[in-house]
Structures are given as C-alpha cells and as structure tokens.
Amino acid sequence: MTVLQAQLVKKCRKLPEEKVREILDFAEFLLSKSGATRRRNVGGKNRSLRAFVGGVRHGALAREIDDELYGRALG
C-alpha cells in the first residue's frame, strides 16, 4: 500500500458509511473513465452507448420522428 492509499484509508475510517460509499462510487467512476474496469452484459460481450451510437442508420427508428418530437413534419 502506498502512502497516499494509507492516508485515504485512514480518512475513510473517520467518515460515516454513507460518505465512504460516495468515495467508493467516485473511485468506480474514475476507474470506468480510465478503462481499468469493463462492464459486461448478461451475454458477456462489452456493450456501451458509444458502440450503439451510429450503429443504427436513419431508418425505422427515425421514421416520423419530427411528428413525434414537434407534432408536425418539417419540410
């Protein structure tokens, strides 16, 4: 354990459990940003919003979207 890790543990021991949970959530967020952890779906394949965005071309999902969003068709 590094000096910084030991300091963090020492500070966490003085905090109420709900605050330690916040620290844990933040640590998990930082890990997910760095790519150090990967979340997997039930099938075991990586799924992310980034992989989905752009994966569907304008088609059935976008049909009549202007009417749905604005109550009228643009054009």
Q: Please, which residues have CB within 8 angstroms of residue 31's CB and are 6 or more apart in sequence?
A: 37
Count of other CB atoms within 10 angstroms of residue 42: 6
User: For residues 35 and 24, what is the distance between their CA atoms, to the nearest angstrom?
Assistant: 17
Angstrom distance (rounded) from CA 2 to CA 66: 56
| pLDDT for 39 | 52
- For the chain, residues with pLDDT lower than 70 are 36-65, 72-75
pTM for the structure as a whole: 0.45
Q: List 40's β-bridge partners, or say none.
A: 46
